[in-house]
Structure 1
Amino acid sequence: MTYCLSIRVDQGLVFASDSRTNAGVDQVSTFSKMHTFEIPGERAVCLLTAGNLATTQAVVRQIRRDNEAGTGRCMNTVADMAEAAEYVGELSRAEQRKHASRQREKFNPEASFIVGGQIAGRPHQIYLVYPEGNYIAASVQTPYLQTGELKYGKPILDRVVSEGLSLDVGARAALVSMDSTMRSNATVGPPIELLLYTADSLRFGKRLVLQEDNAYLRELRTAWQEGLKQAFTNLPSLPLSRPAVKLVGPRGDS
């Protein structure tokens, strides 16, 4: 399994993904789930992949082939990020249809994607593309998207993330979310890839690749754990000193 997430803030976009692929206890491999397509000054698009590795790799290869061909619709010609999400969904569905008959053999070709970035003259945005090919966009109420093993890293995002955050704080939230997931699920693991995009720059900054023993990742993990312990210690005490409350049953019986 894998875990990918993206956060949209006013200042730009944060992308984060793990690199572990698990096809059984003795088939654990490392593959990058983060792919970028960029024409500096014109467009910058990042694609995060989760699900069947054969399907996701085929989709990425087809995107690169379409860009090289330069004919018809491709990532270099889509008008906005919504069209980019639609394009990725179509490629994914086409690849899955090739393997439809094998689903009876317990082979699941499904894949999901997060596609985000910016095209000149359009706002920066992120979309989640489902295995069925349909997609949703991040919103003011939910300015982040996840795919893969999302449940372990969701609480921190729900409590911390908003569009007014700086890119740096958004990146820290993404890494804490990723670290929390790795701690609770062995199928998600390093290297962790982190990519930041500054709104209207139309080019990506440096991509960070963080190994398990990365000094900053260890420092962040320790600070988060200690902060949680301190917050727990400071929680209000139980009201044991208050007068006992008589419990009443559903029919008034005590």
Structure 2
Amino acid sequence: MTYCVGMMLDRGLVLMSDTRTNSGVDNISTFRKMYHWEIAGERLITVMTAGNLATTQAVISQLEERNKAPQDRHNSLLEAPTMFKVASIVGDLLQDTISMRSADNGETAAAGTFSATMIVAGQIKGMEPRLFLIYPEGNFIEASFDTPFFQIGETKYGRPILIRGYDRTMSFENAVKLMTVSFDSTLKANLSVGLPLDLLVMERDNFVPLHERRITAEDPYFRAVSSGWSEALKHALDALPDYSFLPMWEDAAA
């Protein structure tokens, strides 16, 4: 399992992913799930992956090869004229990879074995920053300020944090704080999501990463947010009205 989040802000895009993969409780590994490519001053594109590891690595490897090979320039992320075309390239490649692996293994009817989803984010010069969620079938949807963030993987534990705390005008620093709380909540609830975390901040019209970092278990900021959030929840719970087992009228009379 995995957990990745891509978020739109007025100032740009913030992306975070975990790195844990597992095939049972005794087979846990660390693999990068966030990848980015850039042409300074012209474009910055990021892909995050969740799902079958062999499938996602095959897609990323093919994207890398297309970026290097002149004959594949029409399918290269570094040559695509728009972010919509970038999302189409990733979606088509994901669908083809899943179909091929399913057919090779005689599992056409059970393509879910090789399923994967991806988040594509980035900006090309002269255009707006854009964020897409790519489905295993190759189709995709685009984020807007009505749906300002996408999650893939183990989404349910961290989603309430994002919904309550998100503000499109928030600073990058506060967005990172919000994401850190969302990831901490997910880590606490599900052992299949794990540190280290990869963080990338993409500022509007700045075609190199504004900030890039790997967050480990020893990271002082992550530890401070994790412990601080736990304490804040306890204080918030104590501050709420106490529940009474007495009927309302008896409680009021007392």
TM-score, structure 1 normalization? 0.91
Give the aligned residue type for 1:174: M
**Alignment pair present for 1:20 and 2:20:** yes
Q: Is the 8 A contact 1:143 1:162 kept in 2?
A: no
**Alignment pair present for 1:99 and 2:98:** no
Q: Is the 8 A contact 2:102 2:110 kept in 1?
A: no
**Alignment pair present for 1:150 and 2:155:** yes
**Alignment pair present for 1:79 and 2:84:** no
Give the aligned residue type for 2:127: R
Structure 1 runs of 4+ off > 6 angstroms?
104-107
Aligned equivalents of 2:115, 2:230: Cα separation in 1: 35
Superposition pairs for residues 129-208 of structure 1, below 5 Å? 129-208=134-213
* 1:252 aligned partner: none
Aligned equivalents of 2:234, 2:25: Cα separation in 1: 33
Give the aligned residue type for 2:15: F
Root mean square deviation of aligned Cα: 1.8
**Could you tell me which of 205, 225, 249 is aligned with 1:243?**
249
Q: Is the 8 A contact 2:74 2:80 kept in 1?
A: no
Secondary structure class of the residue paired with 1:72: helix
Aligned equivalents of 2:67, 2:249: Cα separation in 1: 72
Aligned equivalents of 1:45, 1:199: Cα separation in 2: 12
Tell me, which stretches of 5 or more residues in structure 2 are unaligned? Answer: none
Aligned equivalents of 2:11, 2:110: Cα separation in 1: 47
* 1:248 aligned partner: none
**Alignment pair present for 1:59 and 2:59:** yes
Deviations 1:183-227 (A, max 9, x none): 100000011111111111111123211111211111010111111
* Distance change in 2, residues 1:105/1:8 (3 Å): closer
Secondary structure class of the residue paired with 1:226: helix
Secondary structure class of the residue paired with 1:78: coil
Percent same amino acid among aligned pairs? 39
* 1:47 aligned partner: 47
Moved more, 32-41 or 100-109: 100-109
Secondary structure class of the residue paired with 2:21: strand
Displacement, 1:243? 2.0
Aligned equivalents of 1:6, 1:105: Cα separation in 2: 29
Paired residues in the alignment total: 245
* Distance change in 2, residues 1:198/1:105 (3 Å): closer
Q: Is the 8 A contact 1:3 1:188 kept in 2?
A: yes
Tell me, which stretches of 5 or more residues in structure 1 are unaligned? Answer: 246-254
Q: Is the 8 A contact 2:200 2:212 kept in 1?
A: yes
Secondary structure class of the residue paired with 1:108: helix
**Alignment pair present for 1:224 and 2:229:** yes
Aligned equivalents of 1:73, 1:106: Cα separation in 2: 24
